[in-house]
Amino acid sequence: MSDTLILDPIASFVAGVVSILSPCVLPLLPVILAYSTDQSRLRPFAVVVGLSFTFVIMGIAASAFGAIFQTYIQFFRILAEILIIIFGLAMLADYDLFGVFAQYTGKLHVEKKGMFGGLLVGASLGIVWIPCVGPILGAILMGVAIEGNIVYGATHLLIYSIGFAIPMLLIAYFANLSSARLNDISRFDVKLKKLAGLVLVLAGLWMIYSNHLVFYL
Establish if 108 belongs to a structural domain. yes
Establish if 1 belongs to a structural domain. no
Residue 159 has pLDDT above 80, yes or no: yes
Contacts of 7 (CB under 8 A, 6+ apart): 140, 143, 144, 156
Read off φ and ψ for residue 106, nearest 5 degrees. Answer: -95, 5
* DSSP code at position 13: H
Read off φ and ψ for residue 208, nearest 5 degrees. Answer: -60, -45
Residue 153 has pLDDT above 80, yes or no: yes
Run of H or E including 190 = helix 189-208
Establish if 50 belongs to a structural domain. yes
User: Model-level pTM?
Assistant: 0.72
Quote the pLDDT of residue 176.
Answer: 58
- Quickly state the pLDDT bin for 180 (edges 50, 70, 90): low
- Quickly state the pLDDT bin for 158 (edges 50, 70, 90): very high
DSSP string of 144-182, one letter each residue = HHHHT-HHHHHHHHHHHHHHHHHHHHHHHHT----HHHH
pLDDT in tens, 89-143: 887 887 765 554 445 444 444 455 667 777 888 888 778 777 777 778 888 888 8
pLDDT in tens, 3-26: 445 567 888 898 888 888 776 676
Establish if 16 belongs to a structural domain. yes
Domain count, the chain: 1
Q: What is d(CA 100, CA 117) in angstroms, rounded to the nearest whole number?
A: 28
Establish if 60 belongs to a structural domain. yes
Higher pLDDT, 49 or 131: 49
* DSSP code at position 3: S
Contacts of 205 (CB under 8 A, 6+ apart): 85
Query: Which of 10, 55, 24, 35 shows the shortest CA–CA distance to 171?
Result: 35
Q: What is d(CA 56, CA 12) in angstroms, rounded to the nearest whole number?
A: 13
- Quickly state the pLDDT bin for 56 (edges 50, 70, 90): very high
Q: Helices 114-128 and 130-147, interaxial angle, to 10°?
A: 80
Query: Which of 137, 167, 158 shows the shortest CA–CA distance to 30?
Result: 167
Domain, as residue range, for 32 = 10-213
Establish if 96 belongs to a structural domain. yes
pLDDT more than 70, % of the chain: 69
Using only C-alpha atoms, the chain has a radius of gyration, in whole angstroms, of: 18
Establish if 123 belongs to a structural domain. yes
Q: What is d(CA 168, CA 173) in angstroms, rounded to the nearest whole number?
A: 9
Q: Which of 60-69, 95-104, 194-203 has the highest mean pLDDT?
A: 60-69
3-state helix, strand, coil in the chain (%, to 5): 80, 0, 20
- Quickly state the pLDDT bin for 190 (edges 50, 70, 90): low
Query: Which of 72, 49, 85, 46 shows the shortest CA–CA distance to 204?
Result: 85
Establish if 148 belongs to a structural domain. yes
